[in-house]
Structure 1
Amino acid sequence: MDALTATLSLLRLEGIGPSLYWQLVEQFGSAEAALRQPATQFPRKLPARARSQLGEYQRLGCDSELAQWALAERQRCVENCIYLLHCDDESYPSLLRQIERPPPVLYITGDPLALSLPQIAVVGARRASRAGLDNAEAFSADLAAAGFAITSGLALGVDAMAHKGALRGAGKTTAVLGTGVDRVYPQRNAALAEQILESGGALVSEMPLATAPEPGNFPRRNRIISGLSLGILLVEAAVRSGSLITARLALEQNREVFAIPGSVHNPMARGCHHMIKNGAHLVETSADIVAELGGLLSGMAQQPSLFEQVADSGPNLPLEQRNLIVALGGDPRSIEQLARDTGGDTGELMASLLHMELEGLVEQLPGGYQLTGSGAKALAGLVE
């Protein structure tokens, strides 16, 4: 039995995850050798079903339930044009192989070579602010134009905007799933997943085909997102969030971690501030990231930052909108504060803010307004 079939068979045993898999391989030398050991030799007690499966494998070999499932899984992958990469395969991503107990097997839809491109992970909140979503898309587009592939988790919010930004920057992007690669989740991002594949990117998972989106799968996939990447950009995140777990994993994996600071009044900025206090690089433009990691893109021309290309948006705005943008600055402001700072009439200010909201320059929050990413660019143009 070859290494891939033996690995799939061992992982199919009930109660075997990547951690116990690697303990067994380290103890016995290979997945096939582990499958031939008595259950009493395993470092932890197996469930009754797993002991039954293991005993049957040792009696029947390739005719056992475990081996038959592994062979059928391989055939399903062939029929659906899904690549299976064993951790000992030369094509297995070298950065991912370096992490502690990497995925023994990767399922890949799309181009497997996309996983070996220099990658930056972009992660953040599902319920990010408009400014956070704008930043995720703009930074990702800029980094993709500079030659980096963008890695994220295909979730709603920041993840989806990161993938979209990479596509807008004419780059490649990899989506790491917490489901089987044949079961895109969330379903509303199915069209985005197709665009990722059409652009030469990839969907990747360590989960068997048809795996459902169980909550426990997503912390596991986070180590793959960070493990594939040279560095990770945290856009917005609460202090207790999956995105912050990914950032912490990146630090443990000796990856560079970057975080965009935000308003002290924004709870979604607290995770970024926490990581900055604990060693993450504070970044204000994508050029900060390119300056840190761009040397790894030997021979590739770096594109100017989207945030340096302000496009003179300030002077083209009506005077009242320019005044509002300056008054908003970097923090959320109430309508009363804006009226006081600009000297404007409340009714007229609300009309201007409505127009600016429709133009994507501001967003409304409970009790006030704040600039979006586009609004922040306009502010940069006004204060230069």
Structure 2
Amino acid sequence: MKVTQVKNKVMSAEASFPASIPSSVKSFELVGDSPAFKCVLDTASVVGSRECPVIITGETGTGKEMVARMIHHQSSRAKSVLVPVDCTTLTGQLFESQLFGHVKGAFTGAHSDSLGFFRAAEGGTVFLDEVAEIPLELQSKLLRVLQEGIVTPLGSTKSYPVNVRVICATHRDLRKMVDDGKFRQDLYYRLNVVSVDLPPLRDRAADVVLLAKHFLAKQSNLYDESPKVLSPEVVKAISSYNWPGNVRELANCMERAYVLSTTEEIGMDSLPDEIRNSRPDEMRYTHPAAVLNDGSAVMTLEEAMVSAIKAAMVESNGVKTLAAEILDVERHRLNRLINKYNIEVACA
């Protein structure tokens, strides 16, 4: 199969994306004004013009592939393709065949030569989604390609140079996987030159309604209809809900609400049951602070969190790694919370 044929197939999947990132990143559905999310966009913008590998971390549904596409389209490789690879499907023989290609007759069913994702992405970017799912015994093969910049198709003795940038994503804690012997340390350091941590939607409360309106606008454009608006009750409900499925769940919710609503104002009856029937412990605390018997006010959850972080930083003498252990959170999450709440600490 010719290189141009494979590239054309890959590029067809990117037809909806512009050749270069616009001044607004909304075409990538990277919508948000919260400090935590702006920090993500700032970091992505900085690394976009570089060639280094990037690892994007975050819970499922937070938009890791969208950030990868943003980085790609801000790079010098923007006119070439970004090839997404679902690493959860790569096992055994399929790993080498799909990533590095194969020659005709390399295995049963190999009726013709195949380039593989790395050669198909020549001059562009390979996006390894859920990179932590690559089996340990196969990680050395990926490491070799990254170190040497060459691939050898399965069943062939001939090697080919490749010029690609690698961006990875995972919802797992790779550092912990390295410590547990489940991810190669050398591969981790090869990939983790810069990390971008996407906050969950529950840490982006200020962005929920903004995102909801964005998704509703997409639906009105799709159906060429007048825009629909959210009722005050719906605004309150979606602002309080915890969104375990993150941005993907919110997008699904707004599509459902738009389709089911028969009026221009979307009401509670158009929301999924899990949002309408959310228990109090699944909702963000939005009520005024309660008062204890001694007359003192109960701290809000955010106030308690800030207080705990400050206490941990004092106890650890400003060492964030130790403070994260005291708080029983990952260090990247501690950093995000410090930035989110503008906590002034003397960090080591």
Same fold (TM over 0.5): no
TM-score, normalised on structure 2?
Answer: 0.29
Higher relative contact order (CA 8 A, sep 6+): 2
